[in-house]
């Protein structure tokens, strides 16, 4: 049984980019006769109040997307809010600590950006291993000096880690060179996305992950965690991002692409029909329900390059 999921982060009203991802995840699973899980990724509870999650669930229902497990319908693998699953993340962290792979890091983001640490093309710092070799005594001394609770990082191997994406093809990284030891838990105690998403997808039996291409380079990190924790990794499909007509990435700041505006001027079927047309598998921008699109969906027709929204389409 294929188990797909959509896992939005409710830091505001969903926009067309979120809907595009949820639609393709839903179609990919449903076309295979699979189940769908809705998980709310609200690790940062200050940015993701429950009222946004409730609105997001209502918006997805309005669009005609359904799920077999989720916060409003229950299921065997709950709770379905990440903020309620921290005990699971802690257990996984302790397993990795027992392998001797986790160490405390006292570096702040500002310090790393100010230092001569290498950066990726997307601006992310490649962690240079500053705290990797600290002895327990040195770590204790740093804690006293800084007065800070350290973050926790995982030691990554110096080898290629890769996979064949179901849509984008082969992707590989040498984590030591291209990423560096990455965070498992932040200094404020919040678990990192990389650990939480692996724990949750494994615990919920997810076999297929459909998400935006901006997360493609996260996958080798997650595959390492699957390997170390002895869990079977799902299949991955990364889809192109929707961009505004002037080429900017859509965000919750793009009010004209958010449902608070769109629901006042278009129907749910119009939204889905236009998005399916942009994705290349619907022959026109004519209105269509999610169920009607199941038979048309075809990954081969979905572009691999980011998609600009035509002016006035919505």
Please identify every stretch of the chain with a pLDDT value under 70, giving residue numbers as ranges: 115-119, 121-123, 252-256
pLDDT of residue 252: 63
Concerning whether 252 is annotated as a catalytic residue, the answer is yes
Share of the chain above pLDDT 90, in %: 84
What's the pLDDT at 122?
Answer: 67
At 92 the pLDDT is: 98
Q: Which CATH architecture has domain 99-192?
A: Alpha-Beta Complex (3.90)
- Residue 113 confidence (pLDDT): 73
- pLDDT given at position 123: 65
pLDDT of residue 121: 64
pLDDT at position 155 is 98
Q: What are the pLDDT digits (tens) for 107-154?
A: 988 888 776 556 676 667 899 999 999 999 999 999 999 888 999 999
Q: Is the peptide bond before 122 cis (omega within 30 degrees of 0)?
A: no
pTM of the predicted protein model: 0.94
Active-site choice (32, 232, 252, 274): 252
Give the pLDDT confidence score for residue 8 in this predicted structure.
93
Model confidence pLDDT, tens digit, residues 241-271: 999 888 888 876 666 678 888 998 999 999 9
Q: Where are the domains of the chain?
A: 99-192
């Amino acid at each position: 049984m294929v188990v797909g999921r959509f896992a939005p982060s409710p830091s505001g009203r969903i926009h067309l980019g979120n809907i595009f991802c949820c639609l393709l995840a839903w179609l990919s699973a449903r076309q295979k006769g699979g189940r769908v899980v809705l998980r709310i990724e609200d690790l940062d509870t200050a940015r993701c109040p429950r009222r946004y999650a409730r609105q997001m669930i209502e918006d997805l229902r309005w669009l005609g997307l359904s799920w077999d497990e989720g916060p409003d319908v229950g299921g065997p693998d709950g709770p379905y809010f990440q903020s309620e699953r921290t005990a699971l993340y802690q257990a996984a962290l302790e397993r990795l600590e027992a392998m001797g792979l986790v160490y405390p890091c006292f570096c702040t983001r500002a310090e790393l950006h100010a230092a001569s640490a290498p950066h990726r093309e997307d601006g992310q710092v490649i962690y240079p291993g500053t705290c990797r070799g600290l002895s327990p005594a040195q770590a204790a001394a740093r804690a006293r000096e800084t007065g800070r609770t350290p973050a926790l990082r995982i030691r990554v191997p110096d080898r290629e880690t890769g996979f064949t994406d179901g849509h984008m093809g082969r992707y590989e990284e040498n984590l030591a060179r291209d990423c560096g030891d990455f965070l498992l838990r932040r200094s404020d105690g919040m678990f990192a996305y990389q650990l939480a998403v692996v724990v949750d997808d494994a615990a919920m039996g997810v076999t297929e992950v459909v998400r935006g291409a901006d997360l493609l380079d996260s996958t080798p990190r997650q595959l390492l965690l699957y390997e170390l924790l002895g869990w079977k990794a799902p299949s991955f499909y990364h889809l192109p991002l929707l961009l505004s007509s002037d080429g900017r990435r859509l965000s919750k700041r793009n009010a004209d692409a958010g449902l608070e505006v769109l629901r006042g001027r278009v129907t749910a079927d119009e939204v889905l029909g236009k998005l399916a047309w942009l994705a290349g598998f619907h022959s026109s921008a004519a209105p269509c329900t999610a169920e009607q699109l199941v038979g048309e969906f075809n990954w081969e027709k979905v572009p691999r390059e980011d998609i600009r929204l035509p002016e006035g389409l919505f």
